[in-house]
Amino acid sequence: MPSYTLMKILLLGDSGVGKTCLALRFVGEKFQKSFKVTVGIDFKVKEFNVDGKPVKVQIWDTAGQERFRSVATNYYRKAAGVVLVYDVNNLESFQSLETWIDLLNRHTDEGIAKILVGNKLDQTDLKSGKKAVPTAMGEAFAKKHGVKFLETSAKTDKNVEKAMIDLIRDIQASGIQVREVDRSECRIHVLGESETEDDQDNEEESTGKKWGCCGST
């Protein structure tokens, strides 16, 4: 069978910043107005052809709630890249980025490729054009940590594919070790809602509460 490069890419950020919607968009699925909040970790697979090179990407969507972080970090290993996500209309989600980077540094290999994404651009006040996190703040944070930066909207699909392609190119250029596999490989067990020890104690998840994907939750 023909071979391709397999890349594991993480989506990290606070709960409610739109990681699941971005993951759906990354793999070509339609925007969903509501969904069940991610419990533990989930992943989706998408094949890309980047600069003539076939790439299969595993996009790992991690729970943003603090109670699940210790579980999710078990799945950070062997990641080739990460999309750090915040909500441009939520300053707290931006301020949490340092915590996410600290977790990343402690649980991933040195030199992992990163891109910073300010999501929910579609919710910016249309009259004033103001955001809780101005573009300049995102740019300054990205410069400080030496990563690329884009503002996106999972709802309108703005810059979503570009963010993933840019990250894949950075991984290819960085020399980060990735696997050459054939198309019969890649079976991975991930933690799902029914397997989470805390699931019974989490009222919002156990009752199936819907959370807004790119709207207020």
List pLDDT tens digits, range 53-76: 888 899 988 765 555 555 567 778
CB 170 within 8 A of CB 113: yes
Q: Which domain holds residue 135?
A: 3-188
Does residue 146 form part of some domain? yes
Return the SS3 of 36: strand
Please tell me whether residue 95 adopts helix, strand or coil conformation. Answer: helix
**216 is a domain residue:** no
pLDDT at 77: 82
Let me know if residue 196 belongs to a domain. Answer: no
The encoded tokens of residue 29 equal 């699925």
The residues pairing with 55 across neighbouring beta strands, listed in sequence order, are 5, 48
Answer yes or no: is pLDDT of 200 > 50.
Answer: no
Q: Which has the closest alpha carbon to 193: 61, 87, 79, 93?
A: 61
- Nearest alpha carbon to residue 152 among 129, 123, 120: 120
In this model, does residue 212 exceed pLDDT 90? no
Cα separation, 6 vs 186, whole angstroms: 9
Instruction: Report yes or no on 126 lying in a domain.
Output: yes
Tell whether the model's pLDDT for residue 109 goes beyond 60. yes
CA distance 192 to 48: 26
Percent of the chain with pLDDT over 90: 40
CA distances from 96 to 12, 31, 72, 106, 131 (A): 11, 25, 16, 16, 17
In a domain, 89, yes or no: yes
Lowest mean pLDDT among 23-27, 76-80, 200-204: 200-204
Q: Is residue 210 part of a domain?
A: no
Query: C-alpha distances in angstroms, 77 versus 29, 81, 106?
Result: 27, 11, 10
Q: How many domains does the chain have?
A: 1
Domain holding 153: CATH number? 3.40.50.300
How far apart CA 34 and CA 38 sit, in angstroms, is: 12
Does 78 fall in a domain? yes
Instruction: Report the pLDDT value the prediction gives residue 2, as an integer from 0 to 100.
Output: 52
Residues 6+ apart with CB under 8 A from 29: none
The length of the chain, given as a count of residues:
217
How far are the Cα atoms of 46, 48, 122, 143, 201 from residue 58, in angstroms, in the given order?
7, 11, 26, 27, 29
- The verdict on residue 199 lying in a domain is no
